[in-house]
Structure 1
Amino acid sequence: MQGVILHGGQGTRLRPLTHTGPKQLIKIAGKPVSQWVLEQLRDSGIHDIIIILGDNNPNKVVEYYGDGSSFGVNITYVYQGKARGLADAVYKVKDLITDDKFLVYLGDNIVPYDRFPSFLSFKGSASILLAKVDNPNRFGVAVIKDGKVVKLVEKPKEKISDLALVGVYAFTKEIFDVIENLKPSWRGELEITDAIQGLIDRGREVDYRIIDGWWKDTGTPKDILEANSFLLDRYAERKIEGEVRESSVDGRVVIEEGALVENSTIRGPAFIGKGSKIVNSYIGPFTSIGDNCEVKNSEIEYSVILDNVKVDGVSMMDSLIGNNSSVVKGKRWVKLIIGENSRVEI
């Protein structure tokens, strides 16, 4: 059973965080977004993984995941190069698919769904995961009639359905034949919705499942913060591997090996990464602190702090701070979105 993780895209809505690397490697709740995807597939019994790389520093992806052995999977990499749409990315794996059916998962999505083996047992030529949304113009949507998928439209200007494609698909190899004959959309891309519509136009059956509850396309800073909150709330367990001195650690808090918490209060769910130091500070619920960070004399709530960040004398909430940045000498609560290698004095 093979799974394909799409790891391309420019991440324009997350700039400047994505100027130096792909959005799928942004850490939430202690792991890159795409690692949550990869481990979800692995835990569902899918160990043969193909990662499709884009042109935004793809070497970072290869360096992080390697051959996949440290994650319990086997990884093959395919370079899409310049983004030409999801259907184009899927077509890149044509010669690597050996099974009759295969799974495609967008690497920047978080979908709490654990029945992938049954999802792959569909009849027909494809299967899609759907969820009801309030803003269907942001997504590809599916029109269902008499229990069948009859139409798909990418980011419709008018509301024709509230069922959005959540970024998880299953296909037979017939999808490659359809993609070969696709024409670019008005966006200049080969749309996956058009490819699935091509199957329908051929008279093929497209199965679907509607998921209940939360899911997230982590395309904006607000999405990143919400996904971090959800994952901490759902998966965080109390695990103290670092050193705690004269501090209060309440609830489901992860403090990784090599981290130090001194004269501070940590209230879970929260995550403190390896080698980080939290001194004279308060870390509130739904906050993730990356590896090798230094937080002093500060208060942080509902935020994501990436790796190698220095925070000193600042109170912040609803904030997303990029790698290798520093935020110092603040006296008020602020809301920040800061890219990599930045310094902000407040």
Structure 2
Amino acid sequence: MRSTGSAQLRTHAFRVQPGQEAPEPARTACRGGEEKATVRALLLSGGTGTRLRPLTYSIPKQLVPVGNKPVLGHCLENIRDCGIEEVGVIVGPHAEQVAAVFGDGSAMGLRLTYLQQERPLGLAHCVTVAADFLGEEDFLMYLGDNVLTEGVAEAAGAFRADRPDAQVLVTKVANPSDYGVASLGADGRVNAVVEKPERPPSDLALIGVYFFTAAVHRAVRAIRPSRRGELEITDAIGELIATGGDVRALEYTGFWRDSGTVEGLLDCNRAVLDTLRRDVRGSVDRHSVLTGDVVLAEGVEVVRSQLTGPVTVAAGTVVRDSRLGPYTSVGPGCTLDSTGIENSIVLEGTTITGVRGLDGSLIGRRAELHAEPAAASQRLIVGDLAKVRVAR
């Protein structure tokens, strides 16, 4: 993943000049003469993903892959690119699955601490859960179902340079009533934040990336649960503003999307695939045609097939007599035989045989899709809350 360039952020309270590099991480001395970055990260991965059921009955939404990498992996890369090493990961009922994928974080150059949230009681409640981990240090709070393809390194540099009490990333949206919204004063600083307002004060939506000093802990202790029964981070930011805190906003103009719906996941997948460059390591027979940015991992076998990029296919997958892409990700250990699929995500271990015309699909792990000869009836085995479209 690429870290953000200066063209991807517009600042309301101050300005990063074009071409200016993000400042080096601020550091403080610690025992033994070592230095450490003064900003930690709190990555929220406790949500249950109800909008992605039935897929998320068995897999946390943050582990669903876009571009053949879990959404949470993209978040961790962006955090690492800010120069942050210490990350607290808020986890819920799927904690063991998350820990099994990322371990202690050392493979990514990170140190991960998993923090259990027993019930989803709000974003500000996550700050309470992580209070001991965060201590008095500044920190980045990052929602683990968001995809920002240009990263947040520049925003981290801006925060380190000026250290306001809070710095929020915002972006202009057409439907601000669906989000937390920031209202800016004449000086460009944030003078109010409102959660899903009926009459939005602006079109600047909070996008789930926040930088805080330790002042936020006092603000969280001062608020009470909302009508939803949750401790809202917007209320905590409002408390900072009400008590004279310095709260600033940076407008993010790169690609951002919440991956918590099928449509959102597919949008994120397309955006991530657009960053790929052709890399063919698997085997491709002479009867196959690869066009554009196609990424094939080692161990992929392509036989008599046409792949149109951007496409990525993970290790151990066999593609035979099929057409793939554009904008398709196929996980490891799959078999696609006589299949046509585009603009879709296929998770690991799935078999698709004789099914053509798949478009905008999300297919779970170890699923089996087989075409039957034309008949007067169709047979479906469908789980709870599934969404199925059939030809008529």
Q: Specify the TM-score bucket, using the shorter chain as the normaliser.
A: over 0.9
1:286-332 per-residue CA deviation (whole Å, 9 max, x = no partner) reads 10001111111010010111111111111200111111111210799
Q: Secondary structure at the match of 1:103?
A: strand
Q: Take 1:84 and 1:127, find their aligned partners in 2: how far apart are those partners?
A: 23
Matched, 1:48 2:90: no
Q: Which structure would you say has the larger Rg?
A: 2
Q: CA deviation at 1:60?
A: 0.1
Counterpart residue identity of residue 93, structure 1: A
Q: Take 2:373 and 2:220, find their aligned partners in 1: how far apart are those partners?
A: 56
Aligned residue pair count: 337
> Which residue of the partner structure matches residue 89 of structure 1?
126
> Which residue of the partner structure matches residue 362 of structure 2?
320
- The TM-score with structure 1 as length reference comes to 0.93
> Which residue of the partner structure matches residue 10 of structure 2?
none
- Greater CA drift, 163-172 or 108-117: 108-117
Q: Take 1:345 and 1:303, find their aligned partners in 2: how far apart are those partners?
A: 15
Q: Take 2:292 and 2:133, find their aligned partners in 1: how far apart are those partners?
A: 46
Matched, 1:284 2:319: no
The answer to whether the 8 Å contact 2:155/2:250 transfers is no
Q: Take 1:101 and 1:331, find their aligned partners in 2: how far apart are those partners?
A: 62
Matched, 1:186 2:223: no
1:61-112 per-residue CA deviation (whole Å, 9 max, x = no partner) reads 0000001111221111111121001110122111112563110111100122
Matched, 1:262 2:262: no
Matched, 1:14 2:55: no
The answer to whether the 8 Å contact 2:104/2:112 transfers is yes
Q: CA deviation at 1:228?
A: 0.2
Q: CA deviation at 1:52?
A: 0.8
Matched, 1:204 2:245: yes
Q: CA deviation at 1:241?
A: 1.5
- Greater CA drift, 174-183 or 294-303: 174-183
> Which residue of the partner structure matches residue 212 of structure 2?
171
2:282 to 234, 242, 251: 242
Matched, 1:127 2:167: yes
Say if 1:39 and 1:339 are closer, same or farther in 2 by CA, change over 3 A.
Answer: farther
> Which residue of the partner structure matches residue 61 of structure 2?
23
Q: CA deviation at 1:279?
A: 0.5
Q: Secondary structure at the match of 1:153?
A: strand
Counterpart residue identity of residue 22, structure 1: P
Q: CA deviation at 1:154?
A: 1.0
Q: Take 1:205 and 1:85, find their aligned partners in 2: how far apart are those partners?
A: 23
The answer to whether the 8 Å contact 1:11/1:219 transfers is yes
Q: Take 1:44 and 1:104, find their aligned partners in 2: how far apart are those partners?
A: 12
Q: Take 1:20 and 1:5, find their aligned partners in 2: how far apart are those partners?
A: 21
Matched, 1:295 2:336: yes
Q: Secondary structure at the match of 1:18?
A: helix
- The TM-score with structure 2 as length reference comes to 0.82
The answer to whether the 8 Å contact 1:325/1:339 transfers is no
Say if 1:71 and 1:280 are closer, same or farther in 2 by CA, change over 3 A.
Answer: same
2:203 to 162, 169, 177: 162
Q: Secondary structure at the match of 2:164?
A: coil
Q: Take 2:65 and 2:372, find their aligned partners in 1: how far apart are those partners?
A: 25
> Which residue of the partner structure matches residue 265 of structure 2?
224
Q: Secondary structure at the match of 2:168?
A: strand
Q: Secondary structure at the match of 1:59?
A: helix
Structure 1: runs of 5+ lacking an equivalent: 333-337
The answer to whether the 8 Å contact 1:236/1:252 transfers is yes
The answer to whether the 8 Å contact 1:78/1:93 transfers is yes
> Which residue of the partner structure matches residue 335 of structure 1?
none
Q: Secondary structure at the match of 1:21?
A: coil
Q: Secondary structure at the match of 1:184?
A: coil
RMSD (Å), alpha carbons: 2.0
Q: Secondary structure at the match of 1:275?
A: coil
Q: Take 1:272 and 1:208, find their aligned partners in 2: how far apart are those partners?
A: 39
Q: Secondary structure at the match of 1:115?
A: helix
Structure 2: runs of 5+ lacking an equivalent: 1-38, 375-381
